[in-house]
Amino acid sequence: MMNTMMNQDELFKNLISHSKEYGFIFPSSEIYDGLAAVYDYGQLGALLKNNIREYWWRSMVQLHDNIVGIDAAIFMHPTVWKASGHVDAFNDPLIDNKDSKKRYRADQLIEEHLQKISDKIEKEIEKAQKRFGESFNRQLFVETNPRVLEYKQKLETLTTRYNRALNNNDLVDLKNIIDEEKIVCPISGTCNWTEVRQFNLMFSTQIGSVSAEADKIYLRPETAQGIFVNFLNVYKTGRMKIPFGIAQTGKAFRNEIVARQFIFRMREFEQMEMQFFVKPGEELQWFEYWKQTRLAWHKALGIDDEYYRYHDHEKLAHYANAATDIEFRFPFGFKELEGIHSRTDFDLSAHQQYSGKKLQYFDADTNESYVPYVIETSIGLDRMFLAILSYAYTEEKLEDGTQRVVLRIPYVLAPIKVAVLPLVKRDGMPEKAREILHMLQPYYFCQYDEKDTIGRRYRRQDAIGTPLCVTIDQNTLENNIVTVRHRDTMKQDNVHINELKNYIYEYIAIEPLLQKLHQHARVLA
């Protein structure tokens, strides 16, 4: 496999052009030169996205008899965002470089700088390890080497100061850190910075035909609030008993200051969120449950363990009493893919206060009413899409010296499941192939292709991640036997057409995967 030999930047660039070339992702309004950080999903991208959403939805809503799904509106009463804290605090600190005219998030500039210091420590360790070989004692080295100690000291002091400035909203000190550390703009290379300012990430618009401040509403920056404001509706009409969850997928909008890295950070994106309501005091136990359950969901797709890690938050939001991220190894490093947060009763209590409605659960066993605590699982659908695609994209050298690009998308998520290919475009093979295509179409997304040599058609299917290619040849005409070629191994099987539908099902069905998750959930519960 060539991927490991390729530089990750190059790999990421190839992945972006590949996803455009094959109809997965297009820049939005491309004929007008695009719109920054907004993307459209093409004919294959839309299928892959649907499949990821379905996998999430079914494992949440179908597998759990105490989780239901809703679909709330994007527009919400403006007071929702007052209560949730978004109007006052959904801000990022921004800073401009006067020479390059580029805008940055001050927090990200400082965090990258901290990372660089931390990388320097690692480099020193690596160097020493090479020098000392077998006899190297890492711990002793880290505790005694003057240069490492100096870097560590600096890192600690700076991290503490940075966290304090961030928590206290001290924009002046954020600027001071950037100045004192001589952090430069990566484009202009200068330290010629403006002051740091707060910037609210919510998009606003007007509702109704008259534009007035009173009619100002927001495009939701997260789907979670649509769940909280429907807590009472769902609890009452669904006769729910705690613990129970409400799941939802849908669009969210954030006016991100710096939107880079393709679909990793977008201004319009889709979230898949589930809020799980529990009895106060039991939240940490459920937090642990969801932490494990969500990681199991990712791993069930068959992606190697080393692509995932937890990142437990040390610095918690004021309303949270535990939080962790599931990070994924993207081509640009480990980054947040999903967040799992124990949010206490913050949201429901705030909505109770602002709306004047009682948002409580009545426990018939104890005759008590209380505001439930909440565990939230929140994942970006587009970010999951990028995770899958960057894992899947492989430039591979084959034994015969040729090369192929293959998308190793987990079979259950692949946009097209089966390609139906007549070996040659004559002798009745296309007709027979079409018959088989029509037999399979009600069950699976299929593609029919009769153009070019069979080898080239296999490559085209590899490039879009189709797990199985069904080839119709002389043996099919005579004996109703087709050849099924597997994407990853390129192995071929002979299959009778009467068995074909079930044969395919074995490899690409989502149900066995859900069954595995179901068992896992029952063991944990």
Q: How many CB atoms lie within 10 A of CB 247?
A: 22
Angle between helices 106-132 and 171-180 (to 10 degrees): 40
The CB-nearest residue to ligand ATP is: 380
Minimum CB distance to ligand ATP, residue 268 (Å): 8
- Is residue 449 part of the contact set for ligand ATP (CB under 6 A)? no
**Looking at beta carbons only, is 170 or 336 nearer to ligand ATP?**
336
- Range in contact with ligand ATP (rule: CB under 6 A) among 103-111, 303-311, 333-341, 478-486: 333-341
Helices (H), 320-417: 346-355, 381-392
- Is residue 40 part of the contact set for ligand ATP (CB under 6 A)? no
- Range in contact with ligand ATP (rule: CB under 6 A) among 4-12, 46-54, 266-274, 276-284: 266-274
**Looking at beta carbons only, is 337 or 409 nearer to ligand ATP?**
337
As to burial, measured by CB atoms within 10 angstroms (0-12 exposed, 13-18 middle, 19+ buried), residue 26 is middle
- Range in contact with ligand ATP (rule: CB under 6 A) among 11-19, 161-169, 206-214, 334-342: 334-342
**Looking at beta carbons only, is 388 or 464 nearer to ligand ATP?**
388
Minimum CB distance to ligand ATP, residue 299 (Å): 17
Single residue of 124, 282, 336, 435 touching ligand ATP by CB under 6 A: 336
- Range in contact with ligand ATP (rule: CB under 6 A) among 55-63, 138-146, 210-218, 330-338: 330-338
Single residue of 18, 64, 265, 298 touching ligand ATP by CB under 6 A: 265
- Is residue 379 part of the contact set for ligand ATP (CB under 6 A)? yes
- Is residue 266 part of the contact set for ligand ATP (CB under 6 A)? yes
> For residue 445, how far is the Cα from the chain centroid?
24
- Is residue 271 part of the contact set for ligand ATP (CB under 6 A)? yes
Provide the 3-class DSSP secondary structure of residue 509. coil
Alpha carbon distance 220, 202 (integer Å): 7
Single residue of 19, 249, 378, 471 touching ligand ATP by CB under 6 A: 378
Single residue of 380, 410, 415, 422 touching ligand ATP by CB under 6 A: 380
Minimum CB distance to ligand ATP, residue 294 (Å): 11
- What distances in angstroms separate CA 448 from CA 21, 178, 355, 420, one per listed residue? 19, 57, 56, 5
Nearest CA to 173 out of 185, 156, 160, 188 is that of 160
Alpha carbon distance 241, 233 (integer Å): 13
Minimum CB distance to ligand ATP, residue 417 (Å): 27
Evaluated on CA atoms 44, 48, 53, 58, the torsion sign reads positive
Minimum CB distance to ligand ATP, residue 167 (Å): 16
As to burial, measured by CB atoms within 10 angstroms (0-12 exposed, 13-18 middle, 19+ buried), residue 379 is buried
Under rule CB under 6 A, how many of the chain's residues touch ligand ATP? Answer: 16
Q: Which of residues 224-263 bind ligand ATP (CB under 6 A)?
A: 254, 256
Q: What does 88-114 look like in DSSP terms, one character per residue?
A: HH-EEEEEEBTTT--EEEHHHHHHHHH
Peptide bond into 243 cis (omega under 30): yes
Single residue of 86, 175, 383, 457 touching ligand ATP by CB under 6 A: 383
Single residue of 338, 345, 395, 473 touching ligand ATP by CB under 6 A: 338
Q: Which helix (H) or strand (E) holds 131?
A: helix 106-132
Amino acid at 447: Q
- Range in contact with ligand ATP (rule: CB under 6 A) among 290-298, 376-384, 398-406, 496-504: 376-384
Q: What is the DSSP letter of 489?
A: T
Minimum CB distance to ligand ATP, residue 234 (Å): 21
| Number of helices and strands in the chain (H, E) | 18, 23
Residues binding ligand ATP (CB under 6 A): 222, 254, 256, 265-266, 269, 271, 336-339, 378-380, 382-383
